Amino acid sequence: MKLIVGLGNPGKKYNKTRHNLGFEVLDKLAKKFNLIDWSKEEKFKSELIKTPELLLVKPQTYVNNSGLAVRRLADYYKSSPTDIVLIHDELDLPLGKIKVRLGGAAAGHRGVESVIAALGTDQFIRIRLGIGNLQTQSSEHKGQTLNIDKFVLEFFIPKERSIVKRMIKQAIKALELVLEKGLTDAQNQFN
């Protein structure tokens, strides 16, 4: 069973924030394939949509504790780490840039760190979605030093939303490439 995990925080107040891009991608993917019934599964600490081949997962543990949900699901479905695709925001990429990779350091992303710690390996696929950073991305913060935790919980400003919308479509395309043609094809197109 392939686990497609989007990182985000539960609750309406986090909708459309930078940290919730993983949730947004899964919501758009589910809508694209008319998979509209998310079920809350307390034993997995997640909202899920199950198909015969895939499990779409929105952990409800908050981003920084996502590993708890991922580990429970991987154990239950006997999914190896290489059967897991993690979709998450990435500060180190410019807004709109997507990179697909297998393994690697968490680069300070606490949600990714949590998943690595819970699985005991970094050997899962990641679709990294660029949200920019404090100094380069948001003109309202240019030149300021802000707390990263605050930045990732901010909403995209109106002029950024069209870039985000395009990036979400591209993330779905990257995921489809991973699933249909494999990691190498997705990496060749999204790196």
pLDDT, position 141: 53
Largest CA distance in the chain: 49
What does the domain layout of the chain look like in residue ranges?
Answer: 2-189
Mean of per-residue pLDDT scores for the chain: 92
Does domain 2-189 fall into CATH 3.40.50.1470? yes
- Mean pLDDT over 93-103 rounds to 95
- Print the SS3 string covering 58-91: EECCCHHHHHHHHHHHHHHHCCCHHHEEEEEEEC
Considering the candidates 19, 88, 109, 141, report the single residue annotated as catalytic.
19
Q: Is 19 part of the annotated catalytic residue set? A: yes
- Mean pLDDT over 98-108 rounds to 93
Crossing angle of helices 66-77 and 110-119, in 10° steps, is 40
pLDDT at position 138 over 80: no
pLDDT, position 132: 85
DSSP letter for each residue of 108-154? T-HHHHHHHHHHT---SEEEEEE---TTTT-GGGTT----HHHHHTS
pLDDT, position 82: 95
CA distance 106 to 122: 8
Output the CA–CA distances (angstroms, integers) from residue 49 to 23, 27, 89, 180, 182, in the order listed. Answer: 12, 10, 21, 19, 22
pLDDT in tens, 119-132: 999 999 999 999 98
CA distance 58 to 141: 30
pLDDT in tens, 158-190: 999 999 999 999 999 999 999 999 999 999 999
CA distance 66 to 6: 10
